Amino acid sequence: MWHDLGKYNPEFQRKLNGEKVSVEHAGVGAVLANEFHNDSGLPLSFIIAGHHAGLANCVNSEGTGTASLKERLKITNSFWKNCAHLFPATF
């Protein structure tokens, strides 16, 4: 369920409506896990963010062609901050 939180993003909704846009959606759940689940947050973030793409490097993306987990969390954090109020407090 956390993996799909990013599908609430209006950009992702455009994709669901047939537009050919590329929108990363797993990062929102990874941000949630990282921010609210203390010691287990980072491992959960890796699992959620890597569900389709595989596990990313935690910090460095140099030479990999994909963003590191820390980069993905930073990119997605602003969307999470803007929509967190829409989700139940039980997350």
Give the residue ranges of DSSP H helices in 1-91. 10-16, 27-36, 38-49, 69-83
pLDDT 10s digits, 27-73:
778 888 877 766 777 888 878 877 666 666 666 666 656 677 777 77
CA distances from 55 to 4, 42, 58, 80, 91 (A): 17, 12, 9, 21, 23
The stretch 15-25 carries a mean pLDDT of 85
Two structure tokens written together for 34 = 């990282």
Q: What is the pLDDT of residue 17?
A: 92
Most confident of 2-11, 13-22, 24-33: 13-22
Question: How far is the C-alpha of 27 from the C-alpha of 78, rounded, in Å?
Answer: 11
pTM given for the model:
0.60
